[in-house]
Structure 1
Amino acid sequence: MYKYILLLIFSLLFYNCSTTKPYTKFKTAEKWLDNNKVHINAHGGGFLIYNKTYYWYGEHKISGEKGNKAMVGVRIYSSKDLYNWKNEGVALQMIKNTSSKLQIGSIVERPKVIYNKKTNKFVMWFHHELKDQAYKAALTGVAVSDNITGPFEYINSFRIHANQLPINLLQKDFDSILPINENQKLTKQIRIEQAKLGQLFKRDFENGQMSRDMTLFVDDDETAYHITASEENQTLLISKLTDDYLSLTNDYIRIFPGQRNEAPAIFKRKGKYFMFTSGLTGWNPNPGKLAIADKLMGNWTFLGNPCRGTKEEMATTFWSQSTYVIPVIGKKDAFIFAADRWRPKNPIDGRYVWLPVQFENDIPFLELFPHWDLSIFKN
């Protein structure tokens, strides 16, 4: 009898697995199950294409209002078709040792991984906040691995560019910046003016600039860049990485001071650089932004809101926030706008909004598609 019961159990398990249909389309903001039939847990994600396989790195969330603290680490998934994802485990594990900056209970957000062809290393950068300090530390962290799925070895977390001027700020202009009046009552407009005048930058000059929402970008010549929200999220910094991708060089620029940007996501098409960002409304969605440049470390120009649709859709970026732009293997100039629909009261249930990047007169725009597939890209 025992053998028959075991046989029945295995038969039922096999039946359930064999009748699970693979995904053949993207379903906007619906639960997205992995190969284990568990909702994908990789929020604020970054994507890496390696050996014709997509790898998705993201924040592992837990349930409840404290679910945005890093109790596990950075999870990784792999896929051949972008629809169906295999859980590859934890790429970067939080550290139990309380003397480590990366200790359990700190905050790790927006992990991004790039591959260095010279060193054959996989390098991860992420936004890092220290345990029980909310968003005060504003550090960027770096880790490295010999294997794409990890485990990644944590190196360090730090403020950036201490005592270093950006290449687009002259010494004489820096010297003329007045210090912040610490006694004034802070308002949104005062923060904006402090960034525009360079006062926030000067305040943090000796100890290093803040780094919060960030992303990475590797250009055609394999030069890599770190792009981050800084100066209380009022300004963006674009920094060139060293050849091994493990640290920042002294080459960096400040862009859009006082224009309140976070959630940067960059891609390149026909020699132009495009950047999606969002405004600052905490966990609540807001109108998306789009910027363009001829050179990554050059002058950037805002093009407005890339979203098309109803007033509410445009005002909320389809109730989501940008995290990455994914190039599609085998299709020319085909890109996917990847975003998160945050659920701060139960972070593990956060959903994903993926949309095709469309173009009109070579300018990107986004429309909401509840269900869609890669056939939308004709080439």
Structure 2
Amino acid sequence: MARLFSEVNKGRVRMRRIRRKLSPFPFNNAGGRFSLSVALWTCVFLIMFIYFFTYITKRTNGRLIHVHPNHLSVAYELEEIEEEPDFRLPSAHKRNPRAVKRRGPKKPSTAISKFLDESSEIHSMFFPDRSLTVGLKVENSSSSSTGYFYPGQIWLDTDGNPIQAHGGGIFFDARSETYYWYGENKDGATYHAQHKGTARVDIIGVGCYSSNDLWSWKNEGIVLRGKERNMTHDLYKTNVVERPKVIFNAKTNQYVMWMHIDDGNYNKASVGVAISNSPTGPFTYLYSMRPHGSDSRDMTLFKDDDGIAYLIYSSRENIDFHVGPLTEDYLGLTGVMKRILVRQHREAPAVFKHRGTYYMITSGCSGWAPNRAMAHAAASVMGPWENIGNPSVGGNRVLRLTTFFSQGTFVLPLPGIPGSFIFMADRWNPSDLRDSRYVWLPLKVGGLADEPMDYTFGFPLWSRVSIFWHKRWRLPEGWKNVN
């Protein structure tokens, strides 16, 4: 009898094991061990939910974000991805064996080297002649092309002359509802100060153009002129003036311009300051200085919503960026400075803000040769800043790795389309700098960033920044105020 009861008990245990294996609930299959695992994952999920809800609430000041259908339809027009076929480099010519022996094997050509070679087919493809121009004064233009941007083509002002505003930025004057585009006038002969020195043009000055629609631009003239005879002046013609940016100071009622000031050998590495009572100048040059006692090369200004303005500049031979607030009159710097993007070797900063987050587009350091852009994001303009990936979208692989053969200089918000901006860039032509072109493309903030975060546990706190390639595009109707 005892033996019979033993067999029955073994059968019951076996049946209980079978039932556990067939249970559809994983936390019942292995007892407390799986129950604990589920509980832990539930806690993690709740913590993440509370974290992101708090973060978003903080970013929007507790307000709900309403997205109007018109905003979405307009944004979709700017976000269309336009692909391009890959480039095919022309076959190399056979070299004389004696030349190979004397000079060594020739380095293989790349798309960038062909782009920089003014005799190549690729160069002419990216710098089309005057038969392809943009602007009101274009001969044989039709109404179908009016208002369209053609990145890389010659852009004419309202007088029919090519716009000269390189490395520039745009200031919007709310009082007159007018946009002012300031930039380097390079309408001079290109030369090399030294045998292997960088290509350059004598200082002509800072040009200014005005517009109400961002497409047709009136030439307002040279608002800060170079000096022909005073060899000791920062603006003497053989020196360097680059990347001028203008902001308005409501307390002093002055327009303030900051710019990169250098000598012909790029040893001065300073910033210069000028002021004016009018956005169309003339600007009075005040002085130059090395900000925070550091060398300064590519730079930009950023004015925040609270009226505080910041200088962001490449320093320590382009190893890092430095950032610091300006004084209340915007004519100097406070003693506060932070190093950002340390040892990343970046230049050409363009800073903008969207829903409480600060974004920046930078380029690598490769002279006049184009390279891959990088987008960065931060919760404070003083940093720390994180890399969030290459913003270039569309085109082909080479276009994306060269920022569409251009280098950024400014990012302009479109007030009527939340999260939409214009990425302003220069397509440099070192063989003839006056013929450098403008590449303006739609930029959008939204979606998940490409690269992992540096210090945020891998959570995708920052939205992706996307610059969309288009051969031909226009601003949607109502971009100033979409209802």
| Both proteins in one fold, TM over 0.5 | yes
* 2:160 matches 1:37: yes
**C-alpha contact 1:69 1:108 (8 A) present in aligned 2:** no
Q: 1:203-218, aligned counterparts within 5 Å?
A: 208-218=293-303
Could you tell which deviates more after superposition, 69-78 or 326-335? 326-335
| 1:250 partner SS | coil
Structure 1 partner of 2:467: 366
Structure 2 partner of 1:91: 223
Q: Which has the larger radius of gyration?
A: 2
What letter corresponds to residue 467 of structure 2 in structure 1? L
Match of 2:271 among 140, 144, 147: 140
Match of 2:431 among 345, 360, 365: 345
What letter corresponds to residue 358 of structure 1 in structure 2? K
* 2:147 matches 1:27: no
Shift of 1:329: 4.2
Structure 2 partner of 1:252: 337
- What's the TM-score once normalised by structure 1's chain length? 0.80
- Structure 1 segments (4+ residues) deviating >6 Å: 16-22
Structure 1 partner of 2:82: none
CA distance in 1, matches of 2:324, 2:237: 29
**C-alpha contact 2:189 2:201 (8 A) present in aligned 1:** no
Q: Any gaps of 5 or more consecutive residues in structure 1?
A: 1-15, 162-207
Q: 1:258-297, aligned counterparts within 5 Å?
A: 258-297=343-382
Match of 1:151 among 279, 282, 299: 282
CA distance in 1, matches of 2:234, 2:177: 35
Match of 1:103 among 236, 243, 257: 236
| 1:357 partner SS | strand
| 2:398 partner SS | helix
Structure 1 partner of 2:440: 354
CA distance in 2, matches of 1:81, 1:330: 13
CA distance in 2, matches of 1:303, 1:331: 23
Q: 1:168-317, aligned counterparts within 5 Å?
A: 208-309=293-394, 310-317=396-403
CA distance in 1, matches of 2:178, 2:163: 17
**C-alpha contact 1:142 1:157 (8 A) present in aligned 2:** yes
Structure 2 partner of 1:170: none
**C-alpha contact 2:422 2:443 (8 A) present in aligned 1:** yes
Q: Any gaps of 5 or more consecutive residues in structure 2?
A: 1-136, 192-198, 448-462
**C-alpha contact 2:165 2:208 (8 A) present in aligned 1:** yes
CA distance in 2, matches of 1:293, 1:18: 46
Match of 2:182 among 38, 41, 57: 57
Match of 2:260 among 79, 102, 127: 127
CA RMSD of aligned residues (A): 1.9
Structure 2 partner of 1:73: 205
What letter corresponds to residue 383 of structure 2 in structure 1? G
CA distance in 2, matches of 1:252, 1:219: 16
CA distance in 1, matches of 2:286, 2:294: 19
| 1:149 partner SS | coil
Could you tell which deviates more after superposition, 354-363 or 65-74? 65-74
**C-alpha contact 1:57 1:113 (8 A) present in aligned 2:** yes
**C-alpha contact 2:323 2:382 (8 A) present in aligned 1:** yes
The aligned length equals 316
Structure 1 partner of 2:411: 325
Shift of 1:21: 6.4
Greater helix share, structure number: 2
Shift of 1:20: 6.8
Superimposed CA distance per residue, residues 127-160 of structure 1 (whole angstroms, 9 cap, x where no aligned partner): 0112x4x111111111000111111000011111
- What's the TM-score once normalised by structure 2's chain length? 0.63
Identity of aligned residues (%): 44
Change (3 A) 1:267 1:220: same
CA distance in 1, matches of 2:238, 2:375: 34
